Each structure stands twice: as structure tokens, then as C-alpha cells.
């Protein structure tokens, strides 16, 4: 075994659980704090216990609530049909410039420059 590359081993490592249970084991750290142990783990106790370290339960509940609100939304086809119906009802306004109302012969002469000396 090479020297100075391995961590220090502590044969008397104290492990403390969130439930209050404590026991001694060997580890590379002098003291460990854990959330679950064999005294409170659901697999060993047979009791269901929610352990939510990463907010998974709240995230799941938020997703479920969002799905119920999304179910009330309209689909693409319904939205497009409503938009088409609204477009049909809308009046069409055409803007015309005053020079477009003049006769076409006046337009042709208006574009030419006349030089009178």
C-alpha cells in the first residue's frame, strides 16, 4: 500500500440519525449525520415515511395541479376556429391616398417635369 494517498480511517466513527439513534462504525470521517438508519427506515420498520430531501413531493403535487388547469385550456383547433370566426366578423378598412383618386391621365402628366424658360 502506498503511503500518503489514502484517507485516514477512523474505527470509532459515531453515526447519528435524525430519529435520535446513534451507533459506532468505521469510516474515513470521524462523525457522520444521516437522515435514515435501520431503526427508522421504512423497509426495516414496515411503516411508510415520506423523506423528501429534494422537494420531490411538492414538485409532483405542483405538476398535478398544473395538469388540472391545463385540462381546462382550449386546443389549437378550437383556438384557430375562434380566430377565423373573429376575422370574418371584422370589417375591412382600405386606406386610399388622395393622389390615387385622380384620373390616370393626370397621374402620367404629374410625373413629368416641364421646363419653361
- Average pLDDT for 50-72: 78
Question: Is the whole model's pTM more than 0.85, yes or no?
Answer: no
Q: What is the pLDDT of residue 108?
A: 53
Domains and CATH numbers, the chain: 1-45 (4.10.80.400)
pLDDT average, residue stretch 24-31: 94
Q: How far apart are CA 27 and CA 23, in angstroms?
A: 12
pLDDT confidence of residue 21: 92
Query: Ranked by mean pLDDT, which of 11-20, 46-55, 88-97, 100-109 comes out on top?
Result: 11-20
- SS3 per residue for the chain: CCCCCCCCCEEEEEEEECCCCEEEEEECCCEEEECCCCCCCHHHHCCCCCCCCCCHHHHHHHHHHHHHHHHCCCCHHHHHHHHHHHHHHCCCCCCCCHHHHCCHHHHHHHCCCCCCC
Amino acid at each position: 500500500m502506498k503511503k500518503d494517498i489514502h484517507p485516514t480511517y477512523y474505527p470509532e466513527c459515531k453515526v447519528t440519525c435524525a430519529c435520535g439513534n446513534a451507533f459506532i462504525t468505521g469510516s474515513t470521517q470521524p462523525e457522520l449525520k444521516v437522515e435514515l438508519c435501520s431503526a427508522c427506515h421504512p423497509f426495516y420498520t414496515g411503516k411508510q415515511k415520506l423523506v423528501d430531501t429534494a422537494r420531490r413531493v411538492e414538485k409532483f403535487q405542483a405538476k398535478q395541479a398544473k395538469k388540472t388547469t391545463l385540462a381546462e385550456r382550449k386546443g389549437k383547433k378550437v383556438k384557430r376556429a375562434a380566430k377565423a370566426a373573429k376575422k370574418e366578423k371584422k370589417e375591412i378598412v382600405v386606406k386610399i391616398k388622395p393622389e390615387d383618386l385622380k384620373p390616370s391621365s393626370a397621374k402620367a402628366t404629374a410625373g413629368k417635369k416641364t421646363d419653361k424658360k
